[in-house]
């Protein structure tokens, strides 16, 4: 065989071997459009929230003393005015008794001063005494009156303080916490009992300041209690506090909880959906984007997709993944509804 014929056969063999790769690189790249669920014209944002009691009270002592009676425990239902605990009031009772005795003594002195003053007035009319003697009697009578009033006020203070040794429920509710035990020392300011009103609850969430600017119609606000299988609920009221926290740059939103929901307690986890206006590139609860899981490219810590432009060029774009539904994966950010994604990342990587 001649050398020229050998060269021709080698060239033909090379073309046959490279043909599949050349065809793959120049054949149309298989793509799929990003699937979108919902409408992106107006959406909502989901935020974590917590259930709170509108009326929650922490009762503390105003006077020191040992706890001698503890009538409630956490979880108990109480009526308005019901006694919760009692602090040792023996010293206060003795002080109140001493104050009452001082009032009685001052009243007796006032009676004597009153009679002496009346007697001195009669003697002055008969000119048996001088005017100065009557003035002294009048001064003693006025001083005795003032003394009685002062001691009566002190006795009133002692009786009022005697009431500080008994803690009663300010309203009907449920005991949330009792952080003390019988015999503990109560001090002014120390929390003794925490209670709340279970009939008046709300859902509270911290809303970022950036979201507040695009907050939509609050009448469309919804919330759910994941611990209870009752689905989405409408609040009875929506209150957006007009103050932004300087540390977290969030504003508080309070939703009134409908009555009659069983099993919900303060501190329970909740989730709210706030309506927001349309924002470019924003993905909301109503608009979710999905692509085939096979189209996702994972390189070290980077996750991306090959997005094919109108010229047919595949460009690797970093994305953030969400939940998976069957063979589809949710894309939280990085793509839009009109994007076309390469189904085979390896083939897309060879397109130049």
Which whole-number Å values give the CA distances from 209 to 74, 241, 275, 282, in the listed order? 38, 12, 14, 16
CA distance 253 to 218: 10
**pTM greater than 0.75 (yes/no):** no
CATH for 27-40+284-350 is: 2.40.420.20
State the pLDDT at residue 38: 54
| Residue 287 confidence class, pLDDT cut points 50, 70, 90 | low
State the pLDDT at residue 284: 46
Model confidence pLDDT, tens digit, residues 82-134: 999 999 988 777 777 888 888 899 899 899 889 988 988 888 888 888 888 88
CA distance 341 to 126: 123
Segment 230-250 shows an average pLDDT of 90
- Strands (E) in 169-249, as ranges, are 173-177, 185-186, 191-196, 201-208, 222-224, 238-244
CATH for 90-163 is: 1.10.287.470
* Helix segments in 126-249, DSSP class H: 131-163, 209-212
Q: What is the DSSP string of 33-51?
A: EPEEES-SSSEEEEEEEEE
CATH for 56-86+165-196 is: 2.40.50.100
Helices 131-163, 90-125: crossing angle, 10 deg rounding:
160
Q: Is the pLDDT of residue 40 over 50?
A: no
CATH 3.20.20.220 for domain 44-52+201-276, yes or no, is no
State the pLDDT at residue 24: 38
Tell me what the pLDDT averaged over the chain comes to.
82
State the pLDDT at residue 239: 92
Confirm if 284 and 39 have CB atoms less than 8 A apart: no
Q: Is the pLDDT of residue 148 over 70?
A: yes
Kindly list the domain boundaries of the chain, sorted by start residue: 27-40+284-350, 44-52+201-276, 56-86+165-196, 90-163
**If DSSP codes are grouped into helix, strand and coil, which group holds residue 5?**
helix
| Residue 9 confidence class, pLDDT cut points 50, 70, 90 | very low
CA distance 351 to 212: 44
Q: Is the pLDDT of residue 293 over 90?
A: no
Q: What are phi and psi of 77, to 5 degrees?
A: -95, 135
């Amino acid at each position: 065989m001649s050398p020229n014929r050998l060269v021709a056969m080698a060239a033909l063999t090379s073309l046959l071997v490279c043909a599949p790769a050349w065809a793959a690189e120049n054949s149309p790249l298989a793509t799929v459009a990003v699937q979108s669920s919902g409408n992106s014209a107006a959406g909502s944002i989901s935020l974590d929230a917590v259930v709170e009691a509108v009326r929650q009270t922490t009762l503390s002592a105003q006077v020191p003393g040992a706890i001698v009676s503890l009538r409630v425990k956490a979880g108990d239902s109480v009526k308005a005015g019901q006694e919760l605990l009692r602090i040792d009031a023996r010293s206060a009772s003795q002080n109140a008794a001493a104050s009452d005795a001082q009032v009685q003594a001052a009243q007796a002195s006032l009676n004597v001063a009153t009679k002496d003053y009346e007697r001195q007035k009669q003697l002055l009319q008969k000119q048996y005494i001088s005017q100065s003697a009557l003035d002294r009697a009048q001064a003693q009578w006025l001083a005795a009156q003032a003394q009685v009033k002062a001691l009566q006020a002190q006795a009133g203070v002692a009786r009022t303080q005697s009431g500080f040794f008994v803690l009663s429920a300010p309203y009907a509710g449920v005991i949330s916490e009792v952080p003390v035990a019988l015999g503990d020392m109560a001090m002014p300011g120390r929390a003794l009992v925490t209670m709340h009103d279970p009939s008046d609850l709300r859902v509270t969430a911290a809303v970022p300041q950036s979201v507040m600017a695009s907050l939509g119609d609050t009448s469309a606000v919804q919330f759910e209690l994941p611990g209870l299988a009752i689905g989405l609920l409408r609040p009875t009221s929506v209150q957006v506090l007009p103050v932004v926290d300087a540390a977290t740059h969030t504003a508080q939103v309070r939703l009134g909880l409908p009555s009659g929901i069983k099993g919900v307690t303060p501190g329970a986890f909740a989730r709210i959906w706030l309506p927001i206006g349309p924002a470019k590139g924003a993905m909301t609860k109503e608009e979710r984007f999905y692509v085939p899981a096979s189209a996702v490219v994972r390189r070290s810590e980077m996750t991306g997709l090959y997005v094919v432009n109108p010229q047919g060029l595949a460009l690797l774009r970093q994305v953030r993944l969400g939940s998976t539904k069957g063979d589809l994966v949710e894309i939280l950010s990085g793509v839009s509804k009109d994007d076309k994604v390469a189904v085979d990342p390896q083939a897309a990587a060879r397109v130049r």
